[in-house]
Amino acid sequence: MLYLIEQLLNGIQLGMLLFLLAAGLTLIFGIMDLINLAHGSLYMIGAYLAYQAVSVWHANFWISVLIAALGAGIFGMFVEATFLRRIYGRAEEGGFQILLTYSFILVIDDLVKLIWGTEYKSLPRPVGFGGAVNFGGLTIPSYNLAIIAIGLVIVILAWLILSRTRSGRVVRAAALDREMLGSLGINVPLTMTLVFGIATAMGGFAGALAAPLRSVSPGAGIEVIIDSLIVVVIGGMGNFWGAWLGALILGEVNAFAVSTVPDWASLFNYLVMVLTLIFKPEGLFASREIRKV
């Protein structure tokens, strides 16, 4: 029983990190109609920036996380404004978007190698979160609890902003009809850049938070992008709550798989994806018709 609860909490923590990553991906897809394959690379940039801030600049961990999110966000906005914006509306846009974002992965991976080298970096857990908390025989690393709490705060915050504020309304409107939004006097290109920036900042934030748990290495971006794509596929592309549920499902599956068949754990992610595809190819929470060609 204790084992079950422990794995359950482990899964929630994994799911939270996955959600932070997948939320950005699904936001970009839902609003901008863009699959950003380089989203994992922004996660990696976040992890490296956090490492840089903590180990080289000796900053406080939580400030480093903010630096990482800010850095990834600014980088994302730069990329959107200089490169991605040029191909919107081009014929066969979908394919070219994927190719362009794929080329970002290759470039960012090598730039990271150039700046930080190829060896693995590790980050200590923040002060005060190195130990574990005891709940009647159940020991949970306090950093895991912190991640769960942060994840919950971000989920609620993102939902509130999207559904209750004027900017949230503008963003949702952009997903429906950009042209109409533009004629209502909203600066659509700027909105897109900001949305992209916020989404990539979330990716960087996730990378920084995950850095003390996993080692930081070039290639980390490629590892996580597949998982977050699976989350987005399970949940239904472009669907916020779908990504949330998908991330939790994948987190739980991962946690239990790692503790039972560690060598083959990552295969279970694909299994979940294949099952979803067979029974509900549009995802658990489909927000749009995808069978339409």
Q: Where along the sequence are the contacts to other proteins (CB under 8 A)?
A: 35, 83, 86-87, 90, 92, 94-100, 102-107, 109-111, 113-114, 222, 226, 229-230, 232-233, 237, 263-264, 266-267, 270, 273-274, 277-278, 281-282, 290-293
Shortest reach from residue 179's CB to other proteins, in Å: 21
Cβ-based nearer residue to other proteins, 113 or 169:
113
Kindly state the helix (H) or strand (E) to which residue 134 belongs, with its residue range. strand 132-135
Shortest reach from residue 123's CB to other proteins, in Å: 25
Which are the contacts of 265, defined by CB distance < 8 A and separation ≥ 6?
254, 257, 258
Q: Show the CA angle centred on residue 178, arms to residues 175 and 179, nearest 5°.
A: 155
Other Cβ atoms within 10 Å of 282 Cβ, number: 17
Cβ-based nearer residue to other proteins, 100 or 150:
100
Cβ-based nearer residue to other proteins, 141 or 218:
218
Name the token pair of 45: 């940039």
Shortest reach from residue 137's CB to other proteins, in Å: 35
Cβ-based nearer residue to other proteins, 67 or 80:
80
Shortest reach from residue 24's CB to other proteins, in Å: 16
Shortest reach from residue 127's CB to other proteins, in Å: 37
Rounded to a whole number of angstroms, the CA Rg of the chain reads 19
Cβ-based nearer residue to other proteins, 151 or 238:
238
SS3 call for 214: coil
Residue 99 one-letter amino acid: L
**Is the distance from CB of 91 to CB of 23 less than 8 angstroms?**
no
